[in-house]
Amino acid sequence: MRKAALVFIGLIAVLAIAVFAFQAKLGEMLFQRAVEQNTARDSMADLSDGLHVGLCGTGSPMPNPDRAGPCNIVVAGELMFVVDIGEGGNRNIAQMGFNAADLDGVFLTHFHSDHVDGLGPLQLFHWTRGASTAPLPVYAPEGVEAVVDGFNAAYATDDTYRVAHHGETVVPSAGGGSEARPFVMSGSSQVVFEAQGLTVTAFTVDHEPVAPAVGYRFDYRGRSLCISGDTSKSANLERACKGVELLVHEALQPALVQELETALKAQGNANAAKIMFDIVDYHASPADAAESAQETGADMLVLTHLVPPLPSAFLYPAFLGDAENRCAGPIVVGEDGMFFSMPAKNDSIERSELL
């Protein structure tokens, strides 16, 4: 018995020495394998015809290493869009196997910085990952022109370096940056994009004092989804999203945010405490989102833009509170990399993980 134990320990020691001695070679082999798998990955090509939404960012302005800022990938047939592009969203889009060069545009819900601060890297990837010959279209309510102009100005010098270094064939100068496609909301909802069987409808939401603020409904070949943008419980969202199958809704848990406020106050950080107090009234609680899901008749509710940050799934029940009693369909607490597919050929909602 003792002899067997000694042989076993000896074998482990030999193995450890071998791994140490050949670490560089093994690392090279592992890297090569990862390169082959990742460079060949194309999630867009793997999708069936239908309507799909991926969560490329489920966080908020609060720091959270596991969640990028607000970001959603929407694929409808051959078309691919991003709705809001928070910090880190671009990285997730690439890691989820999508190529930003395939994007047909971005839809912004409003101009809070956490919803636009990833536009710089996204427009860069749109340009450089596929030799794009036209800027990235950015659809949003009026006011988007200033945001787009700002990003283009900030990236103008970098663009000249890329062209000088890689040449016009690889990075055609005409394709750099992004281009504003503003729309004016004349009522509470209106169609803002229509092509290849996809209809995108913008609808106003309640995010006072932030205006304009909209959400988007996507309808494609009998399948439908709504993305709320930032809003407190919105009757207009419930109207515009009536009959939708999948509702992606923002959520803030007031009880947890109030705990943050109390702690910050006790530490003498009145400024941060005031911000915690202020943010509660222009976001929806998980219970509000669940009630809206019930009102629309959505088959599934996916919560995103999670406030406060939730470092572990163990906290999800505390975050949800009694939300699950308020709607019939399942509630999914969104995580970066989650992907939901609604094939045109049936009524299912299929969930997968791309990160």
Catalytic residues: 114
| b/e code 116-151 from CB counts within 10 Å (16+ = b) | bbbbbbbbbbbbbbeebeebbbbbbbeebeebbeeb
Is the CB of residue 52 less than 8 Å from the CB of residue 339? Answer: yes
Beta bridge partners of 251: 306
Phi (first) and psi of residue 322, to 5 degrees? -100, 20
The Cα 250–Cα 85 span in angstroms is: 15
Beta bridge partners of 204: 214
The Cα 304–Cα 276 span in angstroms is: 18
The Cα 81–Cα 75 span in angstroms is: 6
Residues 174-213 that bind Zn ion (CB under 5 A): none
* Binding mask of the shown chain, residues 312 to 331, with x at each position contacting Zn ion by CB under 5 A: --------------------
Q: Which is nearer to Zn ion, 217 or 305 (CB)?
A: 305
Residues touching Zn ion: how many (CB under 5 A)? 3
Using rule CB under 5 A, residue 288 touches Zn ion: no
Tokens 């082959």 -> residue: 36
* Minimum CB distance to Zn ion, residue 250 (Å): 7
Which window, 104-112, 170-178, 267-275, 308-316, contacts Zn ion (CB under 5 A)? 104-112
Using rule CB under 5 A, residue 84 touches Zn ion: no
* Minimum CB distance to Zn ion, residue 245 (Å): 24
Burial (CB count <10 Å: 0-12, 13-18, 19+), residue 315: middle
Q: Which is nearer to Zn ion, 72 or 128 (CB)?
A: 72
Q: Which is nearer to Zn ion, 88 or 97 (CB)?
A: 88
Instruction: Give the count of beta carbons closer than 10 Å to the beta carbon of residue 82.
Output: 29
**Axis crossing angle, helix 254-266 with helix 270-279, rounded to the nearest 10:** 170
* Minimum CB distance to Zn ion, residue 61 (Å): 7
| DSSP state at residue 247 | E
* Minimum CB distance to Zn ion, residue 110 (Å): 6
Q: Which is nearer to Zn ion, 112 or 126 (CB)?
A: 112
Beta bridge partners of 29: none
Tokens of 234: 């919105």
Q: Which is nearer to Zn ion, 177 or 229 (CB)?
A: 229
Separation in Å, CA 70 to CA 118, 154, 187, 304, 348:
9, 21, 26, 8, 26
Which window, 106-114, 123-131, 184-192, 336-344, contacts Zn ion (CB under 5 A)? 106-114
Residues 109-138 that bind Zn ion (CB under 5 A): 112, 114
Which window, 179-187, 222-230, 296-304, 337-345, contacts Zn ion (CB under 5 A)? 222-230
Using rule CB under 5 A, residue 230 touches Zn ion: yes
Q: Which is nearer to Zn ion, 19 or 146 (CB)?
A: 146
Tokens of 24: 């560089």
* Minimum CB distance to Zn ion, residue 70 (Å): 6
* Minimum CB distance to Zn ion, residue 348 (Å): 30
Q: Which is nearer to Zn ion, 52 or 112 (CB)?
A: 112
Tokens of 107: 């839809």
* Minimum CB distance to Zn ion, residue 205 (Å): 10
* Torsion sign over Cα 80, 82, 88, 92: negative
Residues in contact with Zn ion by CB under 5 A are: 112, 114, 230
